[in-house]
Amino acid sequence: MLAPERRTRADIISAVAIAVLVAIAGLVVWARGDATGTESVTAATPATTPPTADKIPANLRELWHAPDDASARALASGGVAITGSGGTVTGRDPATGAELWRYRRDMPLCGVEAQFGMVIAVYRDQRGCSQATLLAGDSGERRTARSSYMDPSVRLSVDGTYVLAYGERRLEMWRSDLVRTLEYGYVDAPVNVKTQPRKGCTLLSAGSSSSRLAVLERCPDDPAARLTVLNPAPKDNTVPEEYGSHVLSGPGADAPGARVIAVSDSRIVLYLPGGTVSGAGESTPPRLGVYDSTGNSVAVHQLSAPLSDNATTTRIGSAFLVFTGNSVIALNASTFDPLWAAPNSLGSPAMMAGRLLLPVADGLAVLDPTSGAEVGRIPFPRPGYTGGPISLAVLGNIVLELRDGQLHALG
The three-state DSSP-derived secondary structure of 266-318 is CEEEEEECCEECCCCCCEECCEEEEEECCCCEEEEEECCCCCCCCCEEEEECC
For residue 193, what pLDDT is reported? 66
pLDDT reading at 65 higher than 50: yes
User: What is the C-alpha separation between 315 and 111, in angstroms, rounded?
Assistant: 20
Give me the residues paired with residue 75 across strands: 82
- Per residue in 364-401, pLDDT tens? 999 999 999 999 999 999 999 999 999 999 999 999 99
The three-state DSSP-derived secondary structure of 36-82 is CCEEEECCCCCCCCCCCCCCCCCCCCEEEEEECCCECCCEEECCEEE
pLDDT reading at 120 higher than 50: yes
- Per residue in 122-137, pLDDT tens? 999 999 999 999 999 9
Asked if residue 29 lies in contact with residue 129, where contact means CB atoms within 8 angstroms, the answer is no
For residue 281, what pLDDT is reported? 62
pLDDT reading at 31 higher than 90: no
For residue 164, what pLDDT is reported? 99
401: Cβ contacts below 8 Å, ≥ 6 apart: 74, 359, 390, 391, 392, 407, 408, 409, 410
Around Cβ 177, how many Cβ atoms within 10 Å? 10
For residue 277, what pLDDT is reported? 60
User: What is the C-alpha separation between 411 and 402, in angstroms, rounded?
Assistant: 15
Q: What is the mean pLDDT of residues 39-45?
A: 98
* CATH code reported for the domain at 37-309+395-410: 2.40.128.630
- Average pLDDT value over all residues in the chain: 91
Please compute, for residue 86, the number of CA atoms within 13 A of its CA located in the half-sphere on the CB side.
Answer: 9
pLDDT reading at 6 higher than 90: no
How big is the CA angle at 329 (ends 326 and 330), to the nearest 5 degrees?
Answer: 150
> 279: pLDDT confidence band, cut at 50, 70 and 90?
low
DSSP 3-state helix, strand, coil percentages of the chain (rounded to 5)?
A: 5, 45, 45
Q: What is the mean pLDDT of residues 289-299?
A: 98
Asked if residue 229 lies in contact with residue 180, where contact means CB atoms within 8 angstroms, the answer is no
Q: Which segment of 35-44, 77-86, 99-108 scores lowest on mean pLDDT?
A: 35-44
Per the model's pLDDT, the better-predicted residue between 48 and 31 turns out to be: 48
